[in-house]
Amino acid sequence: MGYEISLLTIMGISVIGALSLNMILGFCGQISLGHAAFLGIGAYTSAMLTKAGIPFLLALPAAMLLSGLIGVIVGFSSLRVRHDFLAITTMGVSFLFTGLVRKQEFLGGEMGIAAIPDPGYGKVGFMLFVFGLAIALTLFSLYIKRSWMGFTFDTVADDEDTATLLGVNVSGYKLMAFALGTAFAGLAGALYAHNVKFIDPESFGFIESITILSMVVIGGTGSVWGVISAAVVLSVFPLWFQFIDDYKLLVYGGLLCAVMLLSPEGVSSLVVKLFNKIFKREKAIHVNN
């Protein structure tokens, strides 16, 4: 039972992490290849604060705030560069994070931080806490899509120049997407730290960034339910099947290539297309009858 609870907790944290990247990439169209760094900032912030005696519930918002603030700073790069250049810049953020943390003794250096305080909810309680946050973030994501902010994100993601000529403060909206996405990444990182009780720079390296990116791209950038489904499947498969964990990069890389070739808008789009096809065929048969 303990294993299943741990599995479900990891699943919930992955959903939060993937939804956070979806706000930047899926909603606002800004590529980020260094998202795990923001999970790392949240994880290290919360770990350090709780080890210093700050209550877990205060450490969580602090982790979100610091991640969000640094996210906005990184977001400024999105105002100067676009597309592939932004991808390379954000990839640099990932290496910068691991490189910096490795050299900081007060952050545990290469050895990382161990014995991170338990939130004190028990395993089931913590799992339910993570689930509650994942559900809240899902509802918030769906709400954003309905709001005028979401409508504007769609326009910016489609064509920044056109958005500008429709009177949109494109820079402001891009920074907002980075602020929201990286703050929630900080939340996911903090939850991760208190779940596994140990973090090191490698926990938030480039491979982890690609793992989160895979969840968003495979699920369908911008699709809340698609991203959640992909996060659920891709977070538990490596734990269920050892060979996937052993060949994680190979499997995720292969899946990314397959999705890009077969359905660039993600699996969710493929499912919708199939559903429409079947539904229309049944409707046609019904009309003919």
Partner 1 sequence: MLTINNITVDFGGVKAVDNVSFSFQDRELLGLIGPNGAGKTTLMKVITGTVKPTSGSVSLDKSNLNGKAPYLRIRAGIGISQQIVHPVNSMTVLENVTFAAGHSKTDQVFLSLFKTNRAIEKEEALNLLKMVEIEDVADEKPENLPLGYIKRLELARALALKPKLLLLDEPLAGLNQSEAERLSNTLLKLNQQGQNIILIEHNLTEVVRICQRLVVIDNGKKIGEGEPKTVMNNPVVRTAYLGRS
Residues near partner 1 (CB under 8 A) are 143-144, 146-149, 151-152, 154-155, 157-159, 161-162, 164-170, 172-173, 175-176
190 close to 13: Cβ distance less than 8 angstroms:
no
Nearest distance, CB of residue 239 and partner 1, angstroms: 36
Return the number of the residue (238 or 266) whose C-beta is nearest partner 1: 266
Return the number of the residue (136 or 166) whose C-beta is nearest partner 1: 166
Return the number of the residue (143 or 241) whose C-beta is nearest partner 1: 143
Nearest distance, CB of residue 50 and partner 1, angstroms: 30
Task: Specify the residue for token string 């590529």.
Answer: 31
Return the number of the residue (127 or 176) whose C-beta is nearest partner 1: 176
Nearest distance, CB of residue 229 and partner 1, angstroms: 21
Q: Return contacts of 149-157, CB within 8 angstroms, 24+ apart.
A: 149/173, 149/176, 150/27, 153/27, 153/28, 153/29, 153/177, 154/27, 156/28, 156/29, 157/27, 157/28, 157/29, 157/30, 157/222
Nearest distance, CB of residue 256 and partner 1, angstroms: 22
DSSP track, 177-196: HHHHHHHHHHHHHHHHHHHH
Return the number of the residue (51 or 145) whose C-beta is nearest partner 1: 145
Among candidates 22, 30, 21, 25, which has minimal Cα distance to 160?
Answer: 30
Nearest distance, CB of residue 29 and partner 1, angstroms: 10
Q: Give me the sign of the Cα torsion angle 216, 219, 223, 226.
A: negative
39 close to 189: Cβ distance less than 8 angstroms:
yes
